[in-house]
Amino acid sequence: MSKEQAESFAWKVMNESTPGKPAPEHKLRLGVLISGSGTNLQAIIDAIADGTLPGVEIALVISNSAQAAGIQRALNHRLPVIYLPWRKFPRDAFLREMTPNEAQIAGLLQFFRVDLVVLAGWMRILSAPFLERFNRRVINIHPALLPREGAGEIYILSNGEQIPVFRGMHAAQMALDAGISITGSSVHYVTPVVDAGPVICQQEVAIEPGDTEDSLQERLKLVEHKLIVEAIKQLL
């Protein structure tokens, strides 16, 4: 990376690291992208610490929000963390090339030798050119049950019941609005079509009487903490 390229990055390095230093043994190096509280990031940190994820390390954490609580989680564990201000670009820019922000992320992922990118509460859509660059190396957690191969608008529950597939924001509220009794969470590969990549692992979650979006979301998060660890373990 040239000096000019480095200076053009609108990011702030919030911890020191030595990304160029060779590791004594190969580990799966994660790049974790966050936008908020970072509870899924914490689940990964804890799983590495207690030996549930042997041979895994977090190489880099990137946040597009300076207020994200996940930044402090990363600092508490002495992980390299970068705040990258996110600029909006015309929607058609996503169809032809990476945006400047995505080019910055791609450069950082390469610089920190990241093997797998984990979107852990990352609230930005990534373009097709970016995902082509990291084909089957980006995974996401989604608070709904997705078809195993990604495509389709119907999901068949373990009891044989069919429910709609809820993609995009506010999937928990969509499940409540649909009046179904079971929803769930999925970890999937990220593709240009939002929440439509092949599923790595998932789990059903019952909707309880009186559930609100917040109460259901909290129970889904508990499942997600286990699923994201399981997905990474499967990819070792």
Neighbours of 131 (CB within 10 A): 20
Intra-chain end-to-end CA distance of the chain, in Å: 29
List the catalytic residues. Answer: 142
CA distance 54 to 174: 37
Amino acid (one-letter) located at 32: V
Q: How far apart are CA 64 and CA 85, in angstroms?
A: 5
Taking CB atoms within 8 Å and a gap of at least 24, the contacts of 113-116 are 113/19, 113/29, 113/59, 114/29, 114/30, 114/31, 114/59, 114/60, 115/28, 115/29, 115/30, 116/28, 116/29, 116/30, 116/31, 116/232, 116/235
Can you tell me whether residue 47 is helix, strand or coil?
Answer: helix
Is-contact 58 151, C-beta < 8 A?
A: no
Answer whether 185's CB lies under 8 Å from 227's CB: yes
Is 174:217 a contact under the CB 8 Å cutoff? no
How far apart are alpha carbons 101 and 86 in whole angstroms? 6
Dihedral sign from CA coordinates of 51, 56, 57, 63: negative
